[in-house]
Amino acid sequence: MSKLKISTLTISIITLFFTVSCINNNSMKPIDFKNTEPSITIEEYFNGPVKAWGLLQDRGGKVTRQFKADMFGSFEGDILTLKEDFYWTDGEKQNRIWKIKKIDQNYYEGSAPDVVGTAKGFQYGSAFKFEYDLMVPFKGKDIKISFDDWIFKQDNEVAINRATLTKFGFKVGELTVFFKKN
């Protein structure tokens, strides 16, 4: 009988954990920012050169890596091409080229060689949310990490990016990036 109680208690705790996780992950929505200023339009903000500085934290908040990045975007038709060159403080260099298509005033779809499927972007007021799965090198192999990426425009030059990284629905890290448009 005690095994049954332990199993029932374990299942209840796991169910509660997943329910709370789902509630917390969906508390902020892009449309919540529709009347905020200054308004961000990613094809305008990332058009031309942009510098970035960022840090990666593990799930406990410990800073594990830092980087600088040079970015350059160009917008033609309805496609933003954004070239990113990352310079990690441990010596690693990474490059990514995003192709981000503007579908309508508030919705975007994006792709890059290391992105799994299609990234989905939502733009309202001062906020841009980008959701995607990225293949990330980890201990000699690539693993798929889900990004819940938020960019908040501060003024004509500065934007701040905050991303939550998850694997199987569990938070594995956070990324904070400071952008400065040249």
The reply to whether 10 falls in a domain is no
The reply to whether 25 falls in a domain is no
The reply to whether 19 falls in a domain is no
Three-class secondary structure of residue 25 per DSSP: helix
Strands (E), the chain: 48-58, 63-76, 79-88, 93-102, 107-111, 115-124, 127-138, 141-153, 158-167, 170-181
Show pLDDT as tens, one digit a residue, over the chain (182 residues).
455 455 555 555 555 454 444 444 568 999 999 999 999 999 999 999 999 999 999 999 999 999 999 999 999 999 999 999 999 999 999 999 999 999 999 999 999 999 999 999 999 999 999 999 999 988 889 999 999 999 999 999 999 999 999 999 999 999 999 999 98
The reply to whether 17 falls in a domain is no
DSSP code per residue over 57-71: EETTS-EEEEEEEEE
The reply to whether 28 falls in a domain is no
What domain count does the chain have?
1
The reply to whether 105 falls in a domain is yes
The reply to whether 22 falls in a domain is no
The reply to whether 131 falls in a domain is yes
Query: How buried is 22 (Cβ within 10 angstroms: 0-12 exposed, 13-18 middle, 19+ buried)?
Result: exposed
CATH number of residue 147's parent domain: 2.40.128.20
Look up residue 71 and give its two tokens: 């970015």
Residue-range definition of the domain harbouring residue 139: 35-181
- Find where tokens 């309508």 sit: 104
